[in-house]
Amino acid sequence: MSDYLLDIAGLGLRWLHLIAGIAWIGASFYFVWLDNHLEESDEPGVAGQLWSVHGGGFYSNRKFALGPPRPPDRLHWFKWEAYWTWISGFALLVVVYYANPQGILVAPDSGLASWEAVTLSVALLAVAVVVYDGLCRSPLGSHGFALALVGVLATMATTAALAEVYSGRGAYLQVGAMVGTLMVANVLTAIIPGQRRMVAALRAGGEPDPADGRRGKQRSVHNSYLTLPVLLVMISNHYPVTYGHGRAWLVLGVLTAAGMLIRHAVIVRQRGRPWLATGAAAAALLTLLVVALRPDDAATATTTAAVVPVLQERCASCHAGAAAPAGLDLTVGTVVEARAADIRRMVAGEAMPPGNVTQMTAAERALIAAWR
């Protein structure tokens, strides 16, 4: 029953995480789009305006340079979308990974105890926020490209270091959780507090500190650029070809850089500036990655007959009968043949057996990886 309840909790939290994430990302993308499409205004104190139509109605948006002469009594704040994305994501981390760290999070041969794995994971979430905030406040923070480059290199270094103690899937997930945490910290510690100080200054008859606006804008832009890499990590657990690669740290670095470039191409295109070179750079990176990750068809092919005994010994204890996970009954020859590609990906990527509970050897994995 406990496993069943954990599955139900995981499903509910994943659903909530997805809903909150869509709301947060949607709001972020919309306001970046809005900033990039504002037109000049003759109204004093107004930095830009935009008329739009949607859902059968007309909308008029105005953006003030610092704020209106007197802010309205009722303001709509965009924060809970971010907060609930993190709350649900961390809860999902607890239910799926922390509840059974040896099953998915920890590398089978790392020797890391469960409590050590969980403590390390939580500590790294805090470290990511502190290090990132320090970089943003340093002179490097005013150089967007240099900061992005440091971020990509830090992503690769962190992934490579985590691969020593976590599984490939666990390392990717941890990096994604760290990036997601610093993103929501941007909202909690920089964007919203700055906005509150600006509103308070206006209501007191003073002028807002422009530094609050600049800092909030900086962190908001960073969040926008980090969105695509984080989304990629969220779905990477379905694709062992990424985290299961021998140089998974480099794969994630390339995907992170490509995601940032794609987002940049979209933003500059919205501003009416040349974007094809940026888009081409992202496409080139992804093309090179696809080529690099292709399977080695020149390797000696393994026959199904050679693979079946390994599957029977290492996998069929769970994958058998009508209740087999994902409907994958490995005791039925036709099912094995039909799902060969899925089996090969999951085993070669070390996603299965979970936590290597059946002690599948490296030689057995290599045998299945060469199965054609």
Same domain membership, residue 256 and residue 349: no
> Is residue 52 assigned to a domain?
no
How many domains does one find in the chain?
2
> Which residue, 262, 293, 324, sits at the end of a domain?
293
pLDDT of amino acid 84 = 96
pLDDT of residue 155: 95
Q: Is residue 141 part of a domain?
A: yes
Contacts for 271-277 with beta carbons within 8 Å, 24 or more apart? 271/36
Q: What CA–CA distances, in Å, run from 136 to 22, 61, 83?
A: 26, 30, 21
- Asked if the structure places residue 47 within a domain, the reply is no
- Domain ends where: 245, 269, 293? 293
Q: Which of 260, 293, 326 is the last residue of a domain?
A: 293
Residue 41 lies in a domain: no
pLDDT of residue 356: 72
Task: Give the pTM.
Answer: 0.83
Query: Residue 106 pairs with which residues in a beta bridge?
Result: 166
Give dist(CA 161, CA 146) in Å, integer. Answer: 22
Same domain for 119 and 239, yes or no, is: yes
Clarify whether residues 258 and 116 are in a common domain: yes
Q: What residue ranges of the chain have pLDDT lower than 50?
A: 1
Domain that holds residue 221: 2-36+80-293
On whether both 253 and 325 belong to a single domain, the answer is no
Same domain, 267 and 357: no
Q: In the prediction, which pLDDT does 1 show?
A: 45
Q: Are residues 149 and 237 in the same domain?
A: yes
Q: What pLDDT is stored for residue 359 in this prediction?
A: 77
Check whether residue 229 and residue 317 sit in a common domain. Answer: no
Residue 121 belongs to a domain: yes
Residue 65 in any domain: the answer is no
